[in-house]
Amino acid sequence: MKIALITGSCGLVGSESAIFFSKKGFKIIGIDNNARKFFFGKDGDITWIKKKLKSNLKNYSHFNTDIRNFEKLRKIFKKYKKNIKVIIHAAAQPSHDWAKNKPFIDFDINAKGTLNLLELTKIYCPKVPFIFMSTNKVYGNNPNFLPLVEKKTRWEIKKNHRYYSGIDESMSIDNCTHSFFGTSKSYADLIVQEYGKNSGLNTVCFRAGCITGPNHSGAKLHGFLSYLVKTTLKNKSYTLIGYKGKQVRDNIHSVDLVSCFWEYYKKPRKGEVYNIGGGRFSNCSISEALNQVEKIKKIKIKKKILNQNRVGDHIWYVSNMKKFKKHYPQWKQEYSTKKIISELINMFSS
């Protein structure tokens, strides 16, 4: 029996991972206590995904366990230990705004929870790949100091700039404003690297841009494209926060992301870091996303633009995928932003 242990198993990345690795013949141990409902209310509730996984995956076992609870996690690791063949850590408190108001809870989940999982991996299954969902927010607002140019629908960078193809892993995560969420995830990112480089575990941090897909329980404070499509179809209106609505997001579909996990699983490395996202293949500004919805659905969306931006928000962020593609040349990206938005529209229209 080979087991994929997945935290945040009913979130977007966790559920996509559960489906993917189940098809590969793994028994899935899903850990998720539906904290998203606590964070975001009804919109964040992942009960529907839990039911879907338990119904559709015969080899799925669910644990309603809080990753902050070391002893309860220990029981799971001790029970399955050497049968665990991969760990995918996707559980998190994922919102800037939420973290600012409750920094202790945010830090305990994102930082302490990650440390708990790493230490238990070291004790019970030290050879398995440990895949951590990090975030591009570890770079804080450093991307905002790039020489950006305002265009009609987006902010952009000049073609002769070193980061035109996207921001790579060489950008500093220091001397900047992160947001409290970005800070707790930075600790987690660094400690994941440390258990790889210092303790010899096969660990990797995927520093993602905007991850999206039909399994996303998008909410106002988290889940950019999912929430945007759901809200605009329902209300025919949307509020853009700061930067004239021209801030650029790069968007990776959860299917494409999990296929990255698979490539890493087959050939793990120790303490590795990859910027992962849509790159130049899949990105858009918030205004451009709204324009896409209007074009596809043939509707008019009322747009309200707030002048005050969110703390730590990126004006322009596109991931440079060169390092990952060099290490894993078999990986192929399938979903463009247009394809992602079309899929979300179909889902919310049905």
Digit-coded pLDDT (tens) for 77-126: 999 999 999 999 999 998 878 889 999 999 999 999 999 999 999 999 99
Q: Is the pTM of this model over 0.75?
A: yes
Q: In this structure, are residues 229 and 345 in contact, taking their beta carbons and an 8 Å threshold?
A: yes
| SS3 state of residue 120 | helix
Cβ neighbourhood burial of 262 (10 Å; 0-12, 13-18, 19+): middle
Element holding 128 (H helix, E strand): none
pLDDT of 225 reads 87
SS3 for 196-265 is HHCCCCEEEEEEECEEECCCCCCECCECHHHHHHHHHHHHCEEEEECHHHCCEEEEEEHHHHHHHHHHHH
pLDDT of 223 reads 61
Residue ranges of the chain whose pLDDT lies below 70: 216-223, 312
Domain ranges for the chain: 3-349
Pairing of strands 155-157, 148-150: antiparallel
Q: Look at domain 3-349 and name its CATH class.
A: alpha beta
pLDDT of 76 reads 98
pLDDT of 217 reads 59
Q: Which of 204, 184, 208 is nearest to 271 (CA)?
A: 204
